[in-house]
């Protein structure tokens, strides 16, 4: 158990519905990341928070996606008007650090498996 | 067992043998690397990391080697066990906040 908790573990939704996922990072970690992983591929970066500030967003994060980390602790990832192409594993990771780059261990949660039908 | 060349998607190894998983990274600016193990239905599990000022780092039953000249990273697993069966990813950081992952190598341990 890495200490990063994600909820729910699985979500099945109908196309067009909105979904929200939650991530609780390791408590002392100030950095939080969201990644997406499709079958047979490595994780792809979506977005990054340092404390409550969202510092970077991937081009993969369309305007239907929004992420928040309001108090610098847990984070939520919302997908509006889901499409079948959104079906994937959504992974959250956390790490510590103060510099301008990732240079310490990043630990992942178990992920939320989203299936859009 | 060893995955040779730039990348082989699968590696089959006899239980008790040593495994070598190879990874070619793309960016010469990358200076921090992590190996992850991912079992089916689970998130990536941190195994070991290495910074570019090192050539080798050892953990429990694992060793990571870094060759910056040819941009190559390898993970060696000693005395491979059935519980080592998983997909292994190398990830690189190019100096910003994110990790870029390779395609992964599926390791199957034969009893």
What's the average model confidence in pLDDT over B41-66?
95
C-beta atoms of B43 and A108 within 8 A:
yes
Q: Which of B97, B102, B104 sits opposite A102 (nearest CB)?
A: B97
Choose, out of B33, B41, B97, B104, the residue to mutate when testing the contact with A (most A CBs < 10 Å). B97
Mean pLDDT of chain B: 90
CA distance A106 to A102: 8
pLDDT at A52: 94
pLDDT in tens, chain A (117 residues): 559 999 999 999 999 999 999 999 999 899 999 999 999 899 999 999 999 999 989 988 899 999 999 988 999 999 999 999 999 999 999 998 877 677 788 899 999 999 999
pLDDT at B3: 47
pLDDT at B26: 82
CA angle A43/A46/B36 to nearest 5° reads: 25
Comparing alpha-carbon positions, the chain A residue that sits nearest to B51 is A103
Residue B7's pLDDT band, with cuts at 50, 70 and 90, is: low
CA distance B93 to B101: 9
- Collapse the DSSP code of B20 into the 3-class scheme (helix H, G, I; strand E, B; otherwise coil) and give the result: strand
Residue for token pair 């630990």: A107
Cβ B80 vs Cβ B13: under 8 Å: yes
Q: Which of A89, A102, A109 sits opposite B98 (nearest CB)?
A: A102
Break chain A down into helix, strand, coil percent, rounded to 5. Answer: 5, 50, 50
Does A105 reach chain B within 8 Å, measured CB to CB?
yes
Residue B4: pLDDT above 80? no
Does B24 reach chain A within 8 Å, measured CB to CB?
no
Tokens of B84: 């080592």
- Collapse the DSSP code of A65 into the 3-class scheme (helix H, G, I; strand E, B; otherwise coil) and give the result: strand
Cβ A111 vs Cβ A89: under 8 Å: yes
pLDDT at B57: 97
pLDDT at A103: 73
């Amino acid at each position: 158990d890495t200490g990063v908790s994600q909820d729910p573990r699985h979500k099945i939704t109908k196309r067009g519905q909105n979904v929200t996922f939650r991530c609780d990072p390791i408590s002392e970690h100030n950095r939080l990341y969201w990644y997406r992983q499709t079958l047979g591929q490595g994780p792809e970066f979506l977005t990054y928070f340092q404390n409550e500030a969202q510092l970077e967003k991937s081009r993969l994060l369309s305007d239907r996606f929004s992420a928040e980390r309001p108090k610098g602790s847990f984070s939520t990832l919302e997908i509006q008007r889901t499409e079948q192409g959104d079906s994937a594993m959504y992974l959250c990771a956390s790490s510590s650090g103060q510099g301008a780059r990732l240079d310490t261990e990043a630990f992942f949660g178990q992920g939320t498996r989203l299936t859009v039908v | 067992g060893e995955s040779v060349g730039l990348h082989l998607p699968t590696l089959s190894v006899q239980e008790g043998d040593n495994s070598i998983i190879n990874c070619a990274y793309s960016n010469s600016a990358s200076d921090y690397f992590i190996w992850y193990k991912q079992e089916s239905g689970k998130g990536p599990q941190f195994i070991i990391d290495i910074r570019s000022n090192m050539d080798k780092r050892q953990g429990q039953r694992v060793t990571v080697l870094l060759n910056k000249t040819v941009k190559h990273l390898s993970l060696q697993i000693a005395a491979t066990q059935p519980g080592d069966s998983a997909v292994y990813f190398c990830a690189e950081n190019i100096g910003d906040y994110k990790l870029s992952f390779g395609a992964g190598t599926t390791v199957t341990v034969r009893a």
